[in-house]
Every structure is written in structure tokens, then in C-alpha cells.
Structure 1
Amino acid sequence: MIQNPILKGFNPDPSICRVGDDYYIATSTFEWFPGVQIHHSKDLKNWKVIAHPLNRISQLDMKGVPDSCGVWAPCLSHKNGIFYLVYTNVKSFDGVWKDTPNYVVTTNDILGDWSEPVYLTSAGFDGSFFHDNDGKTWYINMLVDHRKGKFFGGIELQEYDTLEKKLIGEIFYLTSGTNLGFTEGPHLYKRNDYYYLILAEGGTEYGHAETVMRSENISGPYEAHPENPILTARNSPEYELQKAGHASFVETQNSDWYVTFLVSRPLTVQGRCILGRETAIEEIIWKNDWPYLNSGSNLPRLEIPSPNLKEVVFSEIPERENFDSDQLPIDFQTLRIPQSEEWISLTERSGFLRLKGKESLTSTHTQALVARRLQHFKAEITTSVRFEPLKFQHLAGLVLYYNTGHYHYLHITKSGNQKIISIVSCCNYTIIEQKEIIIVTDIEEVFLRATINHDKLQFRFSKDGNHFEKIGEKLDMSILSDDYVRDESERYRPAFTGCLVGLCCQDLATNAVHADFDWFEYKILD
């Protein structure tokens, strides 16, 4: 059986693509660099992250972008030996105006370098390529309409010239969607005599759903599926998999069909989802030339039968990363900016990750922070750090991070003449400092630990690496969720990512002091 979700933790907006016997899923990364995660599988059950294609500023400049902006809803496709990756780099969100430039990059080798970006349009987002049987390539996107607060303006279609590398010809308006509204995430497919337009609707929260329309002509008119939505959990509030939608289809080499889509797993009934939006999979069957879930309902299952494909299992990511390579592991990402010797080094001190203190955790520009996704409800994260702060403006340690206004931070800093361990949290952009501190003035190597148990977080420390003691009160993990950020903030904020756990260093005085991390350990407690 395949257990859902297949991509755990912050991995939303899956775009699936098959090339021969290989399957690839591209997922959104928002403000995390490098952009787009590409996952690989041979059997649709076992997956491994293999690439981050947007790894240069010339492809993805995100310095200063707001929280949960940056890379939205990539689309991965393949034609005549070339991979195409369409993506949006969202620059602004507040107010009626949305700045959403869309680009496409290409490669012959999915593990190799990708091209410089070709600009497409800024008319909307969630761009997607469809390669028709006649050789034409079409670009589909959601239209942003700023007039009278509409925002969701429907779906547009235009041809893309793969030789001239530009959009050409007439722009066709396909549909405003169904009565669920909030129409976005379009993908086009062709089967037999019909073009199928699948849409994410109902909003990306607990009303999320996937709908289908079809037409005999690519430019329409499109008729709605008789039993829309074909995929949703909107009517099953107590179900474990919620927010189901934003889907893409794939046909196997055995002519079977599957759909990948995002889901979330709340801690309580339609509560908070600390793991963010994840990726799940379901079987598709066809009746009267319409797609349906093979489950007999539109509710995604927690497990489905494995397809008739040879199973290929990948090795697990090691619990402990010892920083013995000159490259960060692929499961680590940075905030908005690429790795640079200006702020990070794996070679200046052999066997250590060195972070050179930069701006605060509130900054949307230059932070010295590396992190990986939280993928389990119960986990233990530990690190060893060597840091000699000179003043209170020097901080380094272990961070659990959602965005610039929501995080928990166990760190070493300076208080008077003492080196101390302290805890600071940020909730709704308000800083909360815990009273308890631990003096470690004469300790060169300090061990920091975060123990997560669903909605509870307990920080611990050790002076010898063996005996860990609690520090501070238990903290609320659930503030590190899209639901909390969206529902509890004074105004609506984009909240589309998930909790990441990692290491950081701040020098708020001179941007010069550094911290050395010997290792980082992520242990699953489930």
C-alpha cells in the first residue's frame, strides 16, 4: 500500500510528470532558496528529493519578498527530451495589487543546470504548460483581477512558441470556474477526444477542492464535471487529511491514471497544521470520459493500493548531519538568498558549519539561517554549537521557524559579562522572552535540543552532550502553522509554508561574529 501523504511536511502544489519509467514531482518553496523541490520516484510510493533547479539569483531573486511569497505553484513538464519548469516569483501581496512575474526555465538533464529564465507574463500566477499532440505548447494561468477586490479573475490560455521562446497569438479566456470560486491552479490534459481543465477551487484552506471541466476544443467552451468537486475534504471536517486540492494528473506506462494533490493534517478538528501543506496521491478511473477517484467518493484515502510498478526504495536521510562535506545536504534550504561565503562556510573550519552573523529573524533580506522541513508530529532536534558572543546583539542557536513573525528560538547570547542560553519567541510579530537563563560562560561547546510533541515544544540544553536538562516553559508549537498565522493575525497575511527547523546566527552590530555548528540531528520520535 501507499501511505498518504507521500511527501511529508511543507511540500505543497505538486506538479507530477512522467518520463519513461521515472516520475517527478515539483513542489512550491515560496521564500526558501534554492527554489522548487523536485522529487523522484520509480513506483509512486517511494520518493526522494533530487534537485532544486532555481539555484541562482539570475533565476530567482527573492531578497525582500514578503513571507509566503516567492515561488508559487511550479509546473514541471517534458517534451522532446526537454524539461520545462514554469514558476511564479511573487513580489508583493498586500492590497489589491499583486506583482506576479512568471517565468520558464528548461534543461535536458533534470539533475543538471537549468537555463536562464524566459519571462512569460505578470497577468496572474499558477502558470502551467500543456504540450498538445499537434506539437503546440500552451500556457495556462490564473488571472489576477484587482478591480473591486475580485482577485480571482478566471483562467486564460495562450500559445507558447518553444523556438522563439515567447507567448504568441490570441489570449483565450477559458472559464471563471465553478460556483466554489477562488479559481486557481489550472492544468490541461488531453485524453481521447477531450481536453480536460482541472482547477483548484474553494480557497487553499478547509474549503479546498479540485474541480474538472472538459471541452472538445482547447479554447473552449468548457463544461463542468457532473459531480464536481472530484476531490475534497470540505464536507468531512473530522477526517485526518484536510485541505485536499491543487492537483495534477499523470498516466503510468501501464495506462493507469493517478492524481497528486496537497493535503494538511491538523492537530485537532480543522485545527492547526504544524507540518504545513503536504502531498498525497489517489487513483483515477474514467466513467463516460470523466475522471473520478477510484475510492468511490471524492474523499482522499489514507492509503491506496500500490500500482503495478516495480518498487524501488531509496535510502533514508541520516539522522545526524556532521557537516563533513563542502555542500549542505539537499534537504536544507536558506531564506531568500543563496549560500555565499559572505555568511556561510563549510570549509573555513573543517567538519563544522560556520554561520557568520547577519540580520535579525525579522529581516526579509539577509539572514544567516539554514533549515530543513519539520516532517513529523513527534521529533527531537539537537545540535552542537561553539559560539563566543561579545555583546547582547550577538545570538546563535537552534530555531523553529514559520515566518518573520512566528518562531521559537533557543540561543546563546551575552548578558553583561556572562555567556548565557536564553529563549525568545515571536508570535504575531511580538517578541516574548522567557525569564529562565542558563550561564555557560566557561563552556566552549554547548548542546541545544528541541523536543516536539504535536502542539508542545520543550527546549533542553546540555554542557556535556549526554545529560540534557529542561530550560524554560513548554511552548505552543501550533503558532508555527499557516492556520494560526492566518486566523490570529490582526490582518490577513499569506501563510502557505510550514515549520522548518534549523540553525542561525545574528550579529546586529557589525555583521561579523560567527558561530560554528559541529553537527545537526533530526530524530523521529513517532
Structure 2
Amino acid sequence: MGYIKNPVLKGFNPDPSIIRVEDDYYIATSTFEWFPGVQIHHSRDLKNWKLITHPLSRKTQVDMVGNPDSGGVWAPCLSYDNGTFYLIYTDVKSHSGGFKDTHNYLTMANDIMGPWSEPIYLNSSGFDPSLFHDEDGKKWLVNMVWDHRKGRNSFGGILLQEYSAEERRLVGPIKNIFKGTELGLTEAPHLYKRDGYYYIMTAEGGTRLKHAVTMARSSSIWGPYEVDPTNPILTSYEKPELTLQKAGHGSLVQTQSGEWYIAHLCGRPLEPSGYCNLGRETAIQKCEWTEDGWLRIVGNDAQVKVEAPSLPEHSFDQEQRKDDFDSENLNINFNSLRAPVEEDWASLRARPGFLRLIGRESLNSVHKQSLIARRQQAFRVSVETVVEFTPENFQQMAGLVYYYNTKNYYYLHVSYDEEIGKSLGILSNTRGLYDEPLDGRICVEGLDRCYLKAVLHYSDLQFYFSRDGQEWEAIGPVLDASTISDENAEININGFFLDQGFTGAFLGMCVQDLSGQKKHADFDYFIYEELSE
């Protein structure tokens, strides 16, 4: 039997939606502005998980060019009914200040690996939509409603409306079925049915330290809903001794033998800042039902070590640490910003064995960045690449980036200086404040290949440079890795969020050509290695 070790999905993998289809388990998680949209992991034992697909892989399914930082794909809901997989998701076009523009869609597939259909538009009244398949064949959509009016509860409750599979649209009356509890910030609704009751599971308290999972039930899908008398059923708030903080945003699954588990969001704060540069992650807890029909977490709290279900062990091959770019397609762990990888800016064919990136806009752009990166999924990580690049002016840059969003990043890069020629430097951006933490630039004139490395040790980031890939020298000061986090990105002035962060740290390669000449750079390999903690 053994144990589940949490988090099961490390690094930026928030808002889990878990299902079982026969002997297979799947979890869908949010991807926000990163493309392709929605990560789906697969397991057969709830212990071992593997990233297998991204269903939103076409621009026609989700076009995020121009979306703000931490906009894009929020809180997907994965479900299955009668041979069809359903995926509901939100494309968030704006979310700062009083308003939120949140468009909700449905895509379907007969196989989890796709192809997934073109999206069906549902509504725009709020975010966190979820589809419930009732026993009588009816389908119901729930989503939180956003209320922008001053003096009102902006998290205005949970709306219910029927979805017609025949008409491929929402039909019938809309009703606010649950206004939430005193915890507030009611979101992430999921409906379940058991022993004649409809159960609504929501997240409350906000997706930071006060996060929680709430449950309520009713004999009618339309309500009224009675709140669990021990609400919330899961939270880490005011429990600083717990490794897993921010516990909330849950989703239920039942095993083949009748055991119950909840997948939920969590975070692991750095010390002493309390910031989570690994982002919001996914954990799993065992559950049980009381005699009077309420769900309880076994052990009560979000635990790192959880009793696994009575299922055969099913492990996966370990990921290779080095990618030589010899494949025709990018590794599944790589992502781009807001738009799909296309041959006109990122190519594995232009020079076989290399990733060629064509320089486009700056790291501040929400439109056309030439950036390929992957999640940081451990506190101690070493990342290495080598770049061949011949810049002709200071507006042309290529290198290794530690990236959170357009206002928060560190960038070790090759560029051109009028006095010393081809040279190496560091750019940093923290809450939009631009800096160059390296005192002067380092001349690399005459070097065809520049080897670049980043080593992360919890809150510390150190860049390195090598001329031959063997002898390395530290470049610049030790940098503060905790700034690459949701908490640092958040700017709240009198209750209005001018900036919010919901993602996590990425490490990758990028090229800019601010002159518009489309200078390219070639990367020969990329190494991502998790070090012992």
C-alpha cells in the first residue's frame, strides 16, 4: 500500500481537478498565461504522477496574446461522462482593480490525449466554472459570480445553470445557489451527489494563507445548502507548523475500492520571507464520510505523508536531466508565453540538434516574447545551457532567464557593448523596478559559445559562466530568488489589486531583438537537474 508523499505535483500546478476513469486517474491544473493551456497529469495509484498532455494546444482554443500577467487559463474542471472527456476553463482577459473579464469555455475529447474540440462559449459572469453530470443525464454548470459594485461582496456567490449537450449552450434559469460562509472569497465550486444529497465544495478565504475548503449540502440541486457544521473541512491557516500551507481549492475522487481522496492546492513557503517561489502546488489527502454524511480529512490537516489507496504500485520512468534538442518536438515540460510555439520564432528544424529562437520583443511584453521555459519544481535546482549568438548592437540579447512575470525576473544574457563588444551581463526586474546587479559587463568577444548556468538554493540564486563548459565562475552577486513568487508580485492598495500573482518560477531560454532585425540565437542543450534537499 505505502504512502503518498505530498505535494504530488510539485512547482506551479494549482487549482487541481481530479477524476478517475476506470483504473486511470487524471488531474488538470491551471496554466494562466503559459502556453499550451492546462496541464494534465496521469496516475494509476495516486502516488506516482506523470505529465501527459496539454489539451489547449491551439490558438483557436485559447488566444492569450495581450493577456495580463496571471491572466489566461484559470481553474480548469476536468470531468468524464458516457465516453467523453469534458474540460471547462476560463480565459481571463483582465483581473486587476474592480473589474474582471472572464470568459468561460468547454472543450471535449473522446480520448484524454485528444484531439480536443474547438471551444464552446458558455458565459462570462465569473470564473472557476465546473460541469456536473447528474444521474438523470442532465448537465449543470456552476461558477462564482464577480460583483464589481462598490460596497458589495465581490465574490458574489455560486451561480447554477443547466447546460444542454444537444444545443451546445447554457439554457434555462440562472440561480445563485450558495453565497458562501463568513470565511468569504467563495470560489472554485464543484458539485457531487451522494446518498440523495447534492454536495457543493468551494474554496474560501483567498488563495493565500487563509485558503480553505468548504462544503455544504442540499436535497435539491437548487438549494438551500446547509453548511458543514465543522466548516472549513480543510485549511492550514494559523497552523504554521504544517509544511503544506495555503491548503484549499479541493476536488474529490473515489477509488475503485470505494476509498475517497481530495486533491487540493497548497504552497511551501521559503524562510524567512514566507514567499513561495515554487508557486501553488497540488497535494492529495485521504478522506472519509461520517455516519451523518459529512466529509472529513483523515488526520484533519494537510499532511506530507498520506496513506495510499489499496492499488498496485505504478511508477513512471524518470525524466532525463538533459535535453539535446534532437527531437522534432519540444519536451512536454517546456512552455511559451501566451501563444503557441511556431516556426517563425522557435525552431528545432532550422539547425538540427539546436533550438533556434528568433529575437522579438522584450521581457516586459505581453505580446510576442521569444521565450521557452519550464517550471522550477524543487527548492534546489541547477540549470545549464549553451548559446551561440552574435549580437551587433545592445538591443540584441540572448541567454538564461529566471522568470516569474513581466515585472519580476533575473536574466543572465549575452549582448553587445560599444566599448567592449560581445559581452555578458545581468538584468533584473523586481515589481517593475529595472536594475543591472552586475558591476559592469564581462567581455566575451571572440567566443562562439557561451555556457550559462543558474543554481538555486531555496532563496538564493547564483548565476555562473563558462568558456568551455568545464570551468565555471560565479557571475554577479547572490540574488534573491524569493522575489520570483506570487507574494512579491502582489501590489494591494486600499483593497484594490494593482498587480496579482498566481503562477510560479520558470527557468528557460530567451532572445530579444528590440531593433526589429530578428537576430537569432541557437541553444545546443538545456539541463534541468534537481539537487538533494
Shared topology, TM-score over 0.5? yes
Distance 1:477 1:361 in 2: 18
Q: Which residue in 1 is equivalent to 2:89?
A: 87
For 1:252-294, what per-residue CA distance to the aligned partner results, in whole angstroms no more than 9, with x for missing partners? 1111110000000001267110100000000110001000001
Which of residues 61, 83, 93 in structure 1 aligns to 2:63? 61
Q: Which residue in 1 is equivalent to 2:395?
A: 393
Q: Which residue in 2 is equivalent to 1:248?
A: 251
Q: Which amino acid aligns with 2:423?
A: I
Alignment of 1:523 onto 2:529: yes
Residue 428 of structure 1, CA deviation: 1.1
SS state at 1:414 partner: strand
Distance 1:100 1:494 in 2: 15
Residue 109 of structure 1, CA deviation: 1.0
For 1:300-334, what per-residue CA distance to the aligned partner results, in whole angstroms no more than 9, with x for missing partners? 11111111011110111100011001100000000
Q: Which amino acid aligns with 1:505?
A: V
Distance 1:141 1:46 in 2: 31
Distance 1:407 1:381 in 2: 15
Distance 2:354 2:190 in 1: 44
Paired residues of 1:237 and 1:269 also in contact (CA < 8 A): no
Q: Which residue in 2 is equivalent to 1:365?
A: 367
Alignment of 1:439 onto 2:453: no
SS state at 2:224 partner: coil
Q: Which ranges in structure 2 are unaligned for 5 or more consecutive residues?
A: none
Q: Which residue in 2 is equivalent to 1:414?
A: 416
Q: Which residue in 1 is equivalent to 2:169?
A: 166
Moved more, 158-167 or 430-439: 430-439
Please report the RMSD computed on the Cα atoms of aligned residues, expressed in angstroms.
1.2
Alignment of 1:194 onto 2:197: yes
Which ranges of 4 or more aligned residues in structure 1 deviate by more than 3 Å? 487-492
SS state at 1:238 partner: coil
Paired residues of 2:277 and 2:482 also in contact (CA < 8 A): yes
Distance 1:249 1:206 in 2: 22
Which of residues 501, 505, 512 in structure 1 aligns to 2:507? 501
Residue 93 of structure 1, CA deviation: 1.4
Distance 2:529 2:80 in 1: 37
Please report the TM-score for the alignment, with normalisation by the length of structure 2.
0.97
Q: Which residue in 2 is equivalent to 1:153?
A: 156
Residue 94 of structure 1, CA deviation: 2.2
SS state at 1:473 partner: strand
Matched residues, percent identical? Answer: 53
Residue 95 of structure 1, CA deviation: 2.4
Q: Which residue in 1 is equivalent to 2:4?
A: 2
For 1:446-472, what per-residue CA distance to the aligned partner results, in whole angstroms no more than 9, with x for missing partners? 100001000001100000000000111
For 1:399-433, what per-residue CA distance to the aligned partner results, in whole angstroms no more than 9, with x for missing partners? 00000000000000000151111111101111110
Q: Which amino acid aligns with 2:210?
A: G
SS state at 1:126 partner: coil
Alignment of 1:272 onto 2:278: no
Distance 1:279 1:408 in 2: 26
Distance 1:273 1:458 in 2: 18
Distance 2:59 2:402 in 1: 26
Q: Which residue in 1 is equivalent to 2:215?
A: 212
For 1:56-85, what per-residue CA distance to the aligned partner results, in whole angstroms no more than 9, with x for missing partners? 111101000000010000000000100000
Alignment of 1:476 onto 2:480: yes
Alignment of 1:462 onto 2:466: yes
Paired residues of 1:18 and 1:24 also in contact (CA < 8 A): yes
SS state at 2:490 partner: helix
Q: Which ranges in structure 1 are unaligned for 5 or more consecutive residues?
A: none
Compared with structure 1, are the counterparts of its residues 373 and 262 closer, same or farther at alpha carbon in structure 2 (3 Å cutoff)?
A: same
Alignment of 1:257 onto 2:260: yes
SS state at 1:478 partner: helix
> Size of the alignment, in residue pairs?
524
**Structural mapping, 1:110-149, within 5 Å:** 110-148=112-150
SS state at 1:124 partner: coil
Q: Which amino acid aligns with 2:35?
A: F
SS state at 2:446 partner: coil
Q: Which residue in 2 is equivalent to 1:349?
A: 351
Alignment of 1:289 onto 2:289: no
Distance 1:6 1:235 in 2: 23
Distance 2:112 2:304 in 1: 30
Q: Which amino acid aligns with 1:63?
A: V
Distance 1:145 1:98 in 2: 9
Compared with structure 1, are the counterparts of its residues 384 and 270 closer, same or farther at alpha carbon in structure 2 (3 Å cutoff)?
A: closer
Please report the TM-score for the alignment, with normalisation by the length of structure 1.
0.98
Q: Which residue in 2 is equivalent to 1:376?
A: 378
For 1:443-499, what per-residue CA distance to the aligned partner results, in whole angstroms no more than 9, with x for missing partners? 101100001000001100000000000111110000001111116899641200000
Residue 169 of structure 1, CA deviation: 0.8
Compared with structure 1, are the counterparts of its residues 79 and 286 closer, same or farther at alpha carbon in structure 2 (3 Å cutoff)?
A: same
Residue 96 of structure 1, CA deviation: 1.6
For 1:333-370, what per-residue CA distance to the aligned partner results, in whole angstroms no more than 9, with x for missing partners? 00001111111000000100000000000000000000
Distance 2:440 2:493 in 1: 28
Residue 511 of structure 1, CA deviation: 4.5
Compared with structure 1, are the counterparts of its residues 519 and 191 closer, same or farther at alpha carbon in structure 2 (3 Å cutoff)?
A: same
Distance 2:241 2:398 in 1: 41
Paired residues of 1:359 and 1:511 also in contact (CA < 8 A): no
